[in-house]
Structure formats: C-alpha cells, structure tokens
Chains A and B, each alone.
Chain A
C-alpha cells in the first residue's frame, strides 16, 4: 500500500520543489516503485494467494480493501517499468529553460506523470467499485492536461474532446455503481461476487458501467477522441497514454465481467464485445493505413490493438475448452502492446525531433540517418504484427489456439486480418525510410532517448520468451466465484 502512497508523496514533494526538482523526485522514486511492485509480486508468487490490505483495519462492507492478485502485480510492474522510461525520455524535453529554476510546463508535466502512476496503481489494487471510480477520475484529470500541455489550440480541442468523452463515461459508471449498491448494499468486489444474482438492476448497472468504461478505453464507436489526443500530446505523454492509461479502464472491465459477474449468463454480451473488438481491429488498422503522419498512424494502431483486447470476452469466458488460453492471450496482448506502443511513440518523438516533421512520405533516406530509431520502430512493429518471437506473437497465438479449441474459429479471422494489416502499415513506415534519398537532420537525436525506446521495444520482444510459470502466476487470486463458474 506504500505503492499508492509513494507517487502521491512524490506529487506533494514536487509542488514544494518546483519543475527541476520534480523531475529528480520522479526519477529517484522510480527504482523504489519497481522494488515495491517486485516485492508485492514475489510475495504473491510465494504465498500463492492475493495480498489483501484493509484500510484502517475496517473490513468491508464498511471499510475499503485493497487487493493485489497476480494480474495486478504484473500490471503494477509494467507501469513501474514504462513510467521511468517515459520520464527518462522526457527529462530533456521538459527541462526548464536555462537560467530559470522552474517553468509551469515542466512542473505540470512531472506532477501529472506521477498522478497517473498513483491512479493506475490504485486501479490495479482497488477492490471497491467506488474507489475505482475515484481512481478513474484521477487518471482522467491527470491525462487530460498532459494532452494539452503545449497550449496550442489544436491540442486544447483534443483535450476538451477527451475530457467530455471521459466525463460521459465516468458518470455512466457512477450510475452503475449506485444501482449495484442499491441492489446489494456493498461495493466490495469479493462480496459483490458472492451476492451476485441476475436481476434487472444488475443488468442495467453492468450495461451502464461497461458502456462508460468503453468510452474511456476508446473501443471503436467511442474511439473518436483517441487519435487527436494521443497524436498531439508530447511523445513521452503519448507513450504513457497509449501504453498504460487506456489499459486502466480496460482492467476494470475485465474485473467487472470476470471477477464480479461471471455468474450472469452473458454469452450475448461476450459476443457483442467481441464483435465491437473485431470491428475495431479492422477499421482501426484500415484508418492507420491511410494516415499521412506517423503519430496519427500509431494512434490509430492503438485503436486497432485495443480491439484485440476485447476478443478476450468471447474467447476467455464460459466453460469452453480454450478459456484459459484466451485469458492468457488477452493479458499478454495488454503487456505486449503497452511496451511496443510506448517504444513506437518514443521513437516517433525522436524522429519528429530529428527531422522536424513526422510526415511518412518525407522519410526518404531517414533510415540511413537514424538507423537506431528505425530499428526500434521495426522491433516494436514486429510485436504489433505478431511475428515470432515477440510478445505480440504469443498473444495472438494463444488467442488463435483459444478460438480453435473452443470451436469459435470465426474469431480467428479478425485476429489474422489485423496482423496482416499491421504488417501493411509497418511497411508503409519502413519502405520510404530505406528508399534512396537524403533526409535533412534538423537536430541530432538524443542518445538516451533512442536507447530508452530501444529498451522498451526489446522488452516487447522478450515477452515472447516468458516461461509457462508466468501464466500460472497470472491465475493467482482470480476469485473463487470465477473459478467455480468456469
């Protein structure tokens, strides 16, 4: 529970310290956060059961419990790894100008980055639905200023649109929470799962909550806010927004349907979510193929990759044979996409800085001028396309196996089509880069920034080599109700 408090303490210290100090506080706290997340993970793995902490020792339903299972530990580790990467990358970009000890931009950036970390950690360990609502709002309020930090009108519009979508989503979620409390008199996840029974109010509440969370996760019909917001944010912020922030709300959808509501006969819900996900894969990839700017292309690729996440619902629920494979595939997709997408956005930032633009058509010869950056892009792309060996390959392979094992082979079509289309947009980036021509380098690229992006891409590849024990670890602490229903 120190894990939640540490970033908050960091925020408070940053207010006192100012912009330059805030960067140092963030970077100093980062290893500590990794150690804490690691310690939690080791303890969970050692005991084989989730860690539970009741705030102020008042047990639910009156008190609030924080609960970390295998999945939350992995998500916390992922966050703890990507955050300092983005921070290291951003250190150069958000250094206050010489002679000034503090600038509003840099102070805001560092505080918001730490707030995102605090909110995400709270989401991953929260086990009270209302607590999760507060964490979600904290996440939004931290993410929106990051989008419009440079204060241009274009980014401000993107941020406003993002905020309005997010508010509509969260108010739906809140109404769902109210209805659930009215029905069961508790919002603690474990107690809710025990008391759960099909009732009209439950259907309405879960529908409202899911719809609200879909808006925040940017699943296809509600994705309109994502590309402008993610493409206009500074590179380090885009990496965090695309790699981690959308996963926060997805994580709650997972919790909702797999931990709280597995008793409901929800086949049709699974199919609807799966169909929305498939459409997102196809349409998102198609839109990515048409973008002229690299950052917008990557942002649309995020829309497509989020679609993959929702294939978890038809593949991993119910008593079918491939359920556990589908679940593993979905989690792997979260992790692989988080690292690959963060690496891509950071490399796109390096490119934009070096070339002074990010128009794909004008990349001729850039591959020779910036070999490391394009190598990073290619590695991350490898994972997005799903070529072995990479995390993306494992994710898609597991999902395909689940689709075939459970006899729902139709779901394999979007999985495969999305891979082919991802290959298409990766080639669109790489082909001009290795064509003849000379690219004018405006600023020479920063070595650290390139190295950070490369490191993230390598992690995305390395995820393809995780031992089977990793997946057993993920299963720790999936609620008893979920296991009974399976």
Chain B
C-alpha cells in the first residue's frame, strides 16, 4: 500500500509541476515538455487506479491499463504534431514565440486572409 500511495503522490506532484510549467513558461517547446510532464502524472494516476481496482485473481484492473496505452499513443501523436509545428515555424521565421504576431493580427498592415 505504501508503494502505491507514494506513486500516487508522485503522480500528483508531476501533474502540479507540469500545469505550473504549462501556464508560466513562455516558450512553446517548454510548454510542450510541461504538457508531457502532466501526461506522465496522469498515466501514473491511471496506474494507481488499476492497482487499487485489483480483484479476484487479477493483481491489476486491466481496463485502466488499456486506457493508459491509448493515452500514451494520443499524447505521442500530440507531441509529434506540436514539434512539427514548432520546427516549421522556426524554419519560417527563425524564431518561435507565441505572442506578438498572433495576438495583434488585427494590426493594420497584416494582410487579409481568404
């Protein structure tokens, strides 16, 4: 029981750290890493849920484990998409930042988009 409680706390800490980074860090790549940190925390929580759901001859509840696998695949796809976007943005502009041009696209010299 001690081990799973410890793992639970670790998961909670990862989620907390990740959320903090996601909100505070200005750089998209750091935001993405923070997202992955939250993701790891959530998967750990799923693991704990699986351990606590153990019953009968099963040491683990298999359903949350199946969900974790799906979750990892989704998070991986998300990270890949985000990295691709960041790389493309870097190649296009020589820098990566979320502010300025996106939030002030109402500025008069930006052209109309169809």
Which residues on A are within 8 Å of B, measured CB to CB? 61-62, 93, 130, 133-134, 137, 140-141, 144-145, 148, 150-161, 163-164, 167-168, 170-171, 174-175, 177-179, 181-182, 185, 224, 228, 231-232, 234-235, 291-293, 295-296, 349, 352-353, 356-359
Say yes or no: A171 contacts B49, CB within 8 Å: no
A178 in complex: contacting residue of B64, B93, B98, CB < 8 Å: B64
Total number of B residues with any Cβ neighbor in A under 8 Å:
48
A160 in complex: contacting residue of B19, B22, B28, CB < 8 Å: B28
Say yes or no: B113 contacts A164, CB within 8 Å: no
Say yes or no: B106 contacts A291, CB within 8 Å: yes
Say yes or no: B105 contacts A231, CB within 8 Å: yes
Asked whether A141 and B102 contact (CB < 8 A) given A151-B88, A168-B35, A358-B112, the answer is: no
State whether the Cβ of B86 lies closer than 8 Å to any Cβ in chain A: yes
Bound CA–CA A197/B96 (angstroms): 47
Which residues on B are within 8 Å of A, measured CB to CB? 15, 19, 22, 28, 31-32, 35, 38-39, 41-42, 45-46, 48-49, 52-53, 61, 63-64, 67, 70-71, 74-75, 77-78, 81-82, 85-86, 88-89, 92-93, 97-98, 101-103, 105-106, 108, 110-114
Asked whether A134 and B105 contact (CB < 8 A) given A155-B113, A185-B53, A356-B112, the answer is: no
Interface centre among A61, A93, A133, A137 (most CB of B within 10 A): A137
Q: Which residues of B contact A231 (CB under 8 A)?
A: 105, 113
Q: How far is the CB of A395 from chain B (nearest CB, A)?
A: 29
Bound CA–CA A154/B101 (angstroms): 6
Q: Which residues of B contact A93 (CB under 8 A)?
A: 114
Q: Which residues of A contact B86 (CB under 8 A)?
A: 160
Q: List 21 A-B contacts (CB under 8 A).
A: A61-B63, A130-B70, A141-B77, A144-B81, A153-B93, A155-B113, A156-B88, A156-B89, A157-B97, A159-B85, A175-B42, A178-B42, A178-B64, A179-B45, A182-B53, A232-B105, A234-B113, A291-B106, A293-B112, A353-B114, A358-B112
Bound CA–CA A177/B110 (angstroms): 42
A359 in complex: contacting residue of B35, B45, B63, B112, CB < 8 Å: B112
Q: Which residues of A contact B113 (CB under 8 A)?
A: 150, 152, 155, 231-232, 234, 295, 352, 358
Bound CA–CA A130/B71 (angstroms): 9
Say yes or no: A160 contacts B64, CB within 8 Å: no
Say yes or no: B85 contacts A163, CB within 8 Å: yes
Bound CA–CA A296/B89 (angstroms): 22
Q: Which residues of A contact B89 (CB under 8 A)?
A: 153, 156-157, 160
Bound CA–CA A151/B74 (angstroms): 24
Closest to B15 in A: A175
Q: Which residues of B contact A155 (CB under 8 A)?
A: 113
Asked whether A141 and B81 contact (CB < 8 A) given A134-B74, A167-B35, A291-B106, the answer is: yes
A161 in complex: contacting residue of B32, B77, B98, CB < 8 Å: B98
Say yes or no: B32 contacts A164, CB within 8 Å: yes
Say yes or no: A178 contacts B49, CB within 8 Å: yes
Q: How far is the CB of B63 from chain A (nearest CB, A)?
A: 7
Work out how many contacts link A and B, with CB atoms closer than 8 A: 137
Pairs A-B, 5 closest by C-beta atoms: A182-B49, A357-B112, A157-B102, A358-B112, A153-B92
Bound CA–CA A234/B112 (angstroms): 11
Closest to B61 in A: A185
Q: How far is the CB of A69 from chain B (nearest CB, A)?
A: 25
Q: How far is the CB of A153 from chain B (nearest CB, A)?
A: 5
Q: Which residues of A contact B111 (CB under 8 A)?
A: 357
Say yes or no: B112 contacts A174, CB within 8 Å: no
Q: Which residues of A contact B53 (CB under 8 A)?
A: 182, 185
Closest to A232 in B: B113
Say yes or no: B49 contacts A235, CB within 8 Å: no
Closest to B45 in A: A178
Interface centre among B19, B45, B71, B113 (most CB of A within 10 A): B113
Say yes or no: B64 contacts A164, CB within 8 Å: no
Say yes or no: A164 contacts B112, CB within 8 Å: no
Asked whether A228 and B103 contact (CB < 8 A) given A137-B74, A160-B82, A359-B112, the answer is: yes
A181 in complex: contacting residue of B64, B88, B106, CB < 8 Å: B64
Bound CA–CA A159/B81 (angstroms): 11
Say yes or no: B108 contacts A292, CB within 8 Å: yes
Closest to A158 in B: B102
Given A168-B22, A228-B105, A232-B113, 7 new contacts (CB under 8 A): A93-B114, A133-B74, A145-B81, A159-B85, A179-B45, A349-B114, A356-B112
Q: Which residues of B contact A144 (CB under 8 A)?
A: 81, 85
